Amino acid sequence: MKSVKDTFKIYNGVEIPCMGLGTWQSPDETAKNAVLAALSHDYRLIDTAAAYGNEKGVGEGIKASGLKREEVFVTSKLRNADHGYKATMEAFSLTMEKLGLEYLDLYLIHWPNPIQYRTHWEEATAGTWKAFEELYEKGKIKAIGISNFLPHHIETLMKTAKIKPMVNQLKLCPGVTQDETVDYCKKQGIVVEAYSPFGTGMIFGNEDMKKLSAKYGKTVGQLCLRWCLEKDFVSLPKSANPMRIRENAEIFDFELSKEDVDFISNLKGVCGEAPDPDNIMF
């Protein structure tokens, strides 16, 4: 990988950029400006979600960039309240209306077991995935996937699925490695994406990472993103600061030693823990 434009290949042949812009907690106008900044610095992957409430701003940013539609890889996610076949179809239509796009590059089920469906999540997930498969087969979505799914959720999904998930987006950051799920996905040929690669900012106060920052002459954020790259994760750093957006992309002129990759992986507790999708309260 030599730039943010370089890609991992999904098993269906679609190529996904190795790094993208996360937009969680960015309202519409902030998201629009962040997307414009990212695209001007060669980012080609933009990640949003219905639950973020900023799909309109993200779509406006993509349009204002002047780039051709096929030059930008756009991801969104299904809101927790909209599981099931009919609700998924309606939610997808609303997402596309807000984004102002004719097709989506990647659509994800945001959570496998939201509280609204806790007593019958298996049935709801099966209905949702049926809708995903139909939208994929019609060319409305280039790739379909999941987020926060553990192996047992994927195994349940595959009992009724015709198409295996192509991507799984997980919380992955220093000390939060979700090894069992990552290994499972890689064995299944599922691309792994890392959200919250900075541990929602918790990593910036860590003294060990500051020492590594001095060693490499790189920021703590850049070390986290290089770590993701070394682990073969697509990373999704969130920022609304144009300077930081540019800085985050400057990770292709150095490598971490294997010892330092392992050291970062083992910083347990510094970025909290991985969420338990079977006990989330939303």
Nearest CA to 162 out of 187, 186, 135 is that of: 135
> Is 260 domain-assigned?
yes
pLDDT tier at 65, thresholds 50, 70, 90: very high
Which residues share a beta bridge with 106? 75, 143
**Cα angle 69, 236, 15; round to 5:** 45
> Is 271 domain-assigned?
no
Q: Is the dihedral of CA 244, 71, 23, 187 positive or negative?
A: negative
> Is 235 domain-assigned?
yes
Note whether 173 and 193 are within 8 A (CB).
no
At residue 168, the pLDDT reads: 98
In the set 43, 52, 117, 184, the catalytic residue is 52
User: pLDDT for 30-44, tens place per residue?
Assistant: 999 999 999 999 999
Task: Give yes or no: 52 in active site.
Answer: yes
d(CA 18, CA 235) in angstroms, rounded, equals 7
Question: How much is the average pLDDT of 199-215?
Answer: 97
Which residues share a beta bridge with 55? none
> Is 275 domain-assigned?
no
CATH number for the domain spanning 47: value is: 3.20.20.100
Question: How much is the average pLDDT of 143-168?
Answer: 98
d(CA 76, CA 46) in angstroms, rounded, equals 9
Note whether 78 and 128 are within 8 A (CB).
yes
| 20-44 exposure pattern, b = at least 16 Cβ within 10 A, e = fewer | bbbbbebebeebbbbbbbbbebebb
User: pLDDT for 90-110, tens place per residue?
Assistant: 999 999 999 999 999 999 999
pLDDT tier at 55, thresholds 50, 70, 90: very high
At residue 202, the pLDDT reads: 96
pLDDT tier at 250, thresholds 50, 70, 90: very high
Question: How much is the average pLDDT of 224-235?
Answer: 98
The 10 Å Cβ neighbour count of residue 260 is 17
Q: Which amino acid, residue 39? A: L
- The number of domains in the chain is 1
> Is 279 domain-assigned?
no
d(CA 266, CA 271) in angstroms, rounded, equals 11
Nearest CA to 224 out of 241, 204, 207 is that of: 204
> What is the pLDDT of the chain when averaged over all its residues?
97
Q: What percent of the chain has pLDDT over 70?
A: 100
Give 119's DSSP letter: T
> Is 1 domain-assigned?
no
> Is 85 domain-assigned?
yes
d(CA 261, CA 216) in angstroms, rounded, equals 13
Tell me the chain's radius of gyration from C-alpha atoms: 18
pLDDT tier at 156, thresholds 50, 70, 90: very high
Identify the domain containing residue 86 by its residue range.
7-265
Which residues share a beta bridge with 192? 168
> Is 278 domain-assigned?
no
The 10 Å Cβ neighbour count of residue 215 is 12
pLDDT tier at 217, thresholds 50, 70, 90: very high
Note whether 82 and 108 are within 8 A (CB).
no
Residue 94 φ/ψ region, left for φ over 0, alpha for ψ in the -120 to 50 degree band, beta for the rest = alpha
3-state secondary structure of 104: strand
pLDDT tier at 184, thresholds 50, 70, 90: very high
* Token pair in block for residue 141: 């979505």
At residue 281, the pLDDT reads: 92
